[in-house]
Structure 1
Amino acid sequence: MNILPLAYLLSGGWLHIGPPYIYINIDPVLVHLGPLAVRWYGLMYVVGIMVGLWVIKGYTTRKGIDQDTVYRILWWCIAAGLIGGRLYFVVQQPHLVENYLMQPWRIIATWEGGMAFYGAIFLIIPTLFWRAKVERINPLVLIDAGVLFGAAGQIFGRIGNLINGDIIGFPSTLPWSTVYQNPNSWACLNPSTCNVPVQPAAGYELIINLFVLGIMLYLARRVRRPGILMLVYLFSYTISQFFIFFARQNDIVSFLGIDIGLKQAQWTSLVVFILLFPLTYWVMRTSRPVPDGEVAATYGIPQKPKPALEKKVITEELSEAPALVAEDAETTSVDTEIPTTESERAETGHEGEEVTTPLTTEQSDGSEVQSTPKGSGQKS
């Protein structure tokens, strides 16, 4: 196991702030466990998920989403985010055919770097719509919880980017410029960015993420219309990405034959920004504010009766059935009883009627013969 001691960090070996710049000398690999390398970036993913769950716990509880449902949906979203983020990164690569289509195993080689957060968004939102339908939850309430989770988790993702050195800005002489010194950092894979002060693009995104999360936490307790948090997050993310990429060292690409000096993420931001306007119109037209006393997660969503309640009702009905049958049988036997004495026939209105009682006599051979007393029978 190879890990830098804490004393080295405290002495300024990992991080040194000025003058004149911010110097980062952190190995992207936190620890080696045999052939396995535990990276800071992966650790930040785990921390981001845990913090995101903690942030949305109170929100989902207030909206009527239990924690079991949250965890069921979480695993689907993690899978969708990893798949979407990786695939969107792959399809943007200039050497897509020779590097990925001809070598498809490299598509899942996330350790080589490369995740596009827009791809995660594009796949997670449909996943949330699908799970909302399955769980019978208002999809906009669920997506609001999802973007709140994402805004909190992104903060730690940006910390991972700062350690990795995989989000590099242009060379700069600003006092907050970052200088990557560790030879294993992504910045030092390119000699032009190793030990060179550059714009801390990941730091800019980190600050914006903190600001956006603060706004969303404020709105989460005050806004009653589902979908507003989603719009706030998507607008803030697309706008911030568009402007931050002017400071990032990424390739300039054309879109539909148009070349105006924009990068891939900026083109994506423009398209998403335009699509957000009809989405905003749809949310404002279809999403109703949740009244006081109503459960936001299920407000306006038809619900199935709970199986446990149905079973209880059926059990109660079955338990009452034998008592009803016994009661009916007892009533019938009482109603059909025929009076036998003269006084009873007089009281019940059967006076004058004769009661035929069969008599049994024994023959000499031991057989029994039934006979009717004289005077009985029908009148001619």
Structure 2
Amino acid sequence: MQLPHIDPVFLRIGPLEFRWYGLMYILGFIAAYFIVLRRARKRSLLLSADDVADIIFYLAVGVILGGRLGYILFYNAPYYLEHPLKIFAVWEGGMSFHGGLIGVVLAGLLVARKKRLGFFTLADLCVLTAPVGLGLGRLGNFINGELYGRVTDMPWGVVFREGGPMPRHPSQLYEAILEGPVLFIILMVVGRKERPAGVAFWTFVSCYGLFRFFVEFFREPDSQLGFIMGPFSMGQLLSFPMFLLGLAMVLIITKKGKRTE
């Protein structure tokens, strides 16, 4: 199956270009605002619409800065040391989920203190927005024909323009499904019952780590890194500890919560 040519720029106004990938970020942040506002009111938290807008702004800045710096440090530090001005060329791509997670946690700590909320109360409130942004982002990767999978003989293999003539796994779509609707449903189920603060957040961390570790077996490793420690990619080395840490924290918090009941 040949990937149809989709212009990564969906709108041009003079010298300005608006790209599908950037649109996915914007849609994700807009959806996050309404999800958090609705969940805050449902939980009777004293957060106004302006408070929620502030929270989303802080988290958006954390995602973007953390994602960019994470990509530079984890995936391509030598290149950016030689070309430091390219650090600011975000339109050329290069974002890391793991860096974005670190950035959003730091931003969350700051905004939680500013709004006088417990960090895990805020994290559990906002965590349902993550699968929406992740799913949209992976669709943006597919439209751009980037972060494609390994060569495959499966009938749904896709020929990506940048990936040569061989059909490859559409790993962006695998991730979009697992990190998007599947993870969203899991977090919805977890959130239906009253649970100790932090359970929803650490469930997200664990499930994302597991899903990303699994899909990386079908995804082509970054060309500048290749495989690390045998058959594993950098994404897997960063994701598997997330799975273990998240699972351990869910068990610890749940057990501690039962003791205090």
Distance in 1 between the 2:256 and 2:53 partners?
28
Change in Cα spacing, 1:194 to 1:54, as seen in structure 2 (3 Å) is farther
Which amino acid in structure 2 is aligned with residue 273 of structure 1?
Answer: F
Distance in 1 between the 2:61 and 2:194 partners?
30
Match of 2:202 among 231, 238, 260: 231
Distance in 2 between the 1:23 and 1:123 partners?
33
The aligned residue for residue 56 of structure 2 is 74
1:247 is aligned to 2:218: yes
Deviations 1:194-236 (A, max 9, x none): 4542101011011112111022223323233221211221111
Distance in 1 between the 2:149 and 2:27 partners?
26
The aligned residue for residue 262 of structure 1 is 232
Q: CA RMSD in A?
A: 2.3
Q: How does 1:204-353 map to 2 (within 5 A)?
A: 204-208=174-178, 209-250=180-221, 251-254=225-228, 259-280=229-250, 283-284=253-254
Contact kept? 2:8, 2:20, Cα under 8 Å:
yes
Distance in 2 between the 1:198 and 1:46 partners?
29
The aligned residue for residue 107 of structure 2 is 127
Which amino acid in structure 1 is aligned with residue 182 of structure 2?
Answer: F
Change in Cα spacing, 1:108 to 1:288, as seen in structure 2 (3 Å) is farther
Per the normalisation by structure 2, the TM-score is 0.88
Change in Cα spacing, 1:24 to 1:194, as seen in structure 2 (3 Å) is farther
Deviations 1:227-252 (A, max 9, x none): 12112211110001111111111143
Which amino acid in structure 1 is aligned with residue 184 of structure 2?
Answer: L
1:172 is aligned to 2:161: no
Change in Cα spacing, 1:91 to 1:120, as seen in structure 2 (3 Å) is same
Per the normalisation by structure 1, the TM-score is 0.62
Distance in 2 between the 1:138 and 1:260 partners?
41
How many residues of Structure 1 are paired with residues of Structure 2 in the alignment? 254
How many angstroms does 1:155 deviate by? 1.6
The aligned residue for residue 83 of structure 1 is 65
Larger Rg: 1
Matched position secondary structure for 1:30? strand
Distance in 2 between the 1:162 and 1:74 partners?
26
Contact kept? 1:238, 1:270, Cα under 8 Å:
yes
Matched position secondary structure for 1:179? coil
1:143 is aligned to 2:123: yes
Change in Cα spacing, 1:222 to 1:122, as seen in structure 2 (3 Å) is same
Percent of residue pairs bearing the same amino acid type: 28
How many angstroms does 1:278 deviate by? 4.9
Distance in 2 between the 1:170 and 1:55 partners?
35
Where does the alignment leave 5 or more consecutive residues of structure 1 unmatched? 1-20, 181-187, 292-380
Where does the alignment leave 5 or more consecutive residues of structure 2 unmatched? none
Matched position secondary structure for 2:159? strand
Structure ranking higher on relative contact order (CA contacts 8 Å, 6+ apart): 2
Match of 1:47 among 27, 35, 39: 27
Deviations 1:316-347 (A, max 9, x none): xxxxxxxxxxxxxxxxxxxxxxxxxxxxxxxx
Change in Cα spacing, 1:260 to 1:242, as seen in structure 2 (3 Å) is same
Matched position secondary structure for 2:240? helix
Contact kept? 1:48, 1:153, Cα under 8 Å:
yes
Contact kept? 1:226, 1:287, Cα under 8 Å:
no
How many angstroms does 1:266 deviate by? 0.5
Distance in 2 between the 1:195 and 1:66 partners?
53
Distance in 2 between the 1:277 and 1:221 partners?
19
Contact kept? 2:11, 2:19, Cα under 8 Å:
yes
Contact kept? 1:227, 1:287, Cα under 8 Å:
no
Say which is worse superposed, 271-280 or 30-39, in terms of deviation: 271-280
How many angstroms does 1:125 deviate by? 1.3
Distance in 1 between the 2:168 and 2:248 partners?
38
